[in-house]
Amino acid sequence: MRLEDKTVVITGAASGIGEETAKRCAEEGARVVVTDVNTPGGEETVADIEDAGGEAEFRELDVTDSERFDEVVDAVAEEYGIDVMVNNAGTGHPGGSLEDVDDSVRDFVIDVNIKGVWNGCAAALPHMKEQGHGSIVNVGSLASILGLPKQAAYSTTKAAVLNMTRTIAAEAGPYGVRANAVCPGFTETQMLDQYVATQDDPEAARQAMAEDYPLKRLGKPEEIADSILFLASDEASFVSGHGLVVDGGFSTC
């Protein structure tokens, strides 16, 4: 198994990409610590993993709370050690020109998407450096490499995630710690559902988005989870500081 006897902490694992990543890591032998602000959803992810014969536990976590993040990671590291930190939790915002985005919306997106990832890395790195190994996988976006129209706050934060990841790779590499990012295109998640729901014809909007991709479809959470699993595993032992674009060819157009 690709993650046998390893401990993986995943944020935002109550649904979508985080949920599928938790399940895939458990299938590959990992002990998975599921975290989320959504307690019922997180507990359901754990139950699904356990029903499938995997090992998992839930810890409630708001990624914007650095003290709570430290508390959760410290407890996991003390009990099991920490081999992989997946900073997946993120949020979007309604479409709008930069000058029209409300300050409170901008600040919330920054808090979750930048500070949340920062908090996860800062909590995990001391333990990983001390033990001499570890893999951090941060979930960026196609917006990490492209400026998406009407998504200024989101694009800004996801670009920051990618460069933060590169910086960590440079800083932590000498300690045996790798850091990478996955940059998905539009993926069939609740966040996408919320976005298309703001359109006049949500189904037509979804289909139009799919038509922009060479593969003529949107991504699936399990496809992104498989990419995260690769970067987390020893199969990517010489991959660090990389932003793996998983976008069905969109960025080639």
The beta-carbon contacts of 93-100 under 8 Å, at least 24 apart in sequence, are 93/151, 93/153, 93/154, 94/198, 95/150, 95/151, 95/195, 95/198, 96/150, 97/150, 97/152, 98/152, 98/153
Dihedral sign computed on CA atoms, order 198, 203, 209, 215: positive
DSSP labels, 170-205: HHHGGGTEEEEEEEE-SBSSHHHHHHHTTSSSHHHH
Contact partners, residue 242, CB within 8 Å, separation at least 6: 169, 180, 181, 231
In the chain, at which residue ranges do the beta strands (DSSP E only) sit? 7-10, 31-36, 55-60, 84-87, 134-139, 177-184, 243-246
Q: What angle do CA 248, 137, 142 make, to 5 degrees?
A: 30
- Residue 5 and residue 29 in contact, taking contact as beta carbons nearer than 8 Å: yes
* Cα separation, 176 vs 147, whole angstroms: 33
Whole-number Å distance between alpha carbons of 242 and 171:
14
Terminal alpha carbon distance of the chain: 37
Q: Does 154 qualify as catalytic in the annotation?
A: yes
Catalytically annotated residue among 80, 154, 175, 195: 154
Catalogue the active-site residues.
Answer: 154
